Structure 1
Amino acid sequence: MSVSIAFMSATREELDRADREPSWGREYVYELYTSDPMPDRPHGGPGKAWAGLQFLLDEAEVNIEFLMDGSPILRDGTLFGWSAEQIESVARLLRATPWERLAAHYAPERMTIEEVYPNTWQFDAEGELDWLEHSYEELVAFFDEAAERGYGAFMGFSF
């Protein structure tokens, strides 16, 4: 079993309804994530890389908190809503944060000692750094596209 985070863009109406009717939100987001093909809207990771990216963001003093930002929809902490304003704000922060700024804080030994999920940093430090870079690029692309199109987002946290 893995712990991961995924974003799916959402309209204001969808977020409002999910906030009023959390069980509807759970079912709706499940349908969005499992539909084939997915709706024509931005979606993306960081997947299992979320904690590694959070470590780098924290070390670079970039004020984004995956597990604190957004508004909880489900009491079990598995579904959050992010407003269009929050998406725009994070998109600006990410655009102002080049990968190199984060990569400068990559510390596989420390991340291993601190058990930063998924705690694979010691096995292939360079490969894991490449994986984090790819995940960051996907995250930036999601926030950019969602912000350009005026979307908010659902954030699913699975564990």
Structure 2
Amino acid sequence: MGVSISFISATTEELDRAEQDPSWADEYVYELYDSDDFPMPDRPHGGPDKAWAGLQFLIDETDVGLEFLMDGLPILEDGTLFVWSAEQIESVARQLRATPWEQLAAHYDPERMTKADVYPNTWRFDPEADLYWLERAYEELVAFFTEAAERGHGAFMNFSF
């Protein structure tokens, strides 16, 4: 299965309720993903999936203020569900839109990433394919943050391991 991160947009009311009732949030987010209507056109979703650590490695070399595992407010004690405010989503969206993929790709270093044990640590096997994989994940991340920000949404972030 692996370690992955995903986002699904949320209204301010949903985020407020999640902070007050974490067990509701856990069930609600599960139902959103498990719904027959998923994906819902009015609820942006996406994320870096298993590419999150590789993207974090590249993002850390830029001015983008995004730390997947430090940003957002943890809702569940086990660290698997976070809420991101609409303001956070807007700020990250603005930064991501201003950061072209080529700026991140310039820091791609399979050897350094392997030595640093950057998850999923497959960088040395097919570096070109992994760079392409990271690019697709980045594009999806930018699209999610942009769409959620345009709707004035915050987000739930799932961290599964």
TM-score, normalising length: structure 2: 0.97
- Structure 2, unmatched stretches of 5+, are none
Matched to 1:121, the amino acid is W
Query: Which residue of the partner structure matches residue 131 of structure 1?
Result: 133
Letter of the 1:94 counterpart: L
Give the whole-Å Cα distance in 2 for the aligned partners of 1:23 and 1:43. Answer: 21
Q: Equivalent residue for 2:14? A: 14
Structure 2 matches for 1:5-154, cutoff 5 A? 5-38=5-38, 39-40=40-41, 41-154=43-156
Per-residue CA distance 1:12-50 (angstroms, 9 max, x = gap): 111111110000000000011111221331000110000
CA RMSD of aligned residues (A): 0.7
**One-letter amino acid of the counterpart of residue 93, structure 2:** A
CA distance in 2, matches of 1:109, 1:5: 24
- What number of residue pairs does the alignment pair up? 159
Cα offset, 1:10, TM superposition: 0.1
Q: Percent identity?
A: 75
Give the drift of 1:6: 0.1
Cα drift, residue 7 of structure 1: 0.1
Q: TM-score, normalised by structure 1?
A: 0.98
1:127: how far off?
A: 0.2
Amino acid at match of 2:75: I
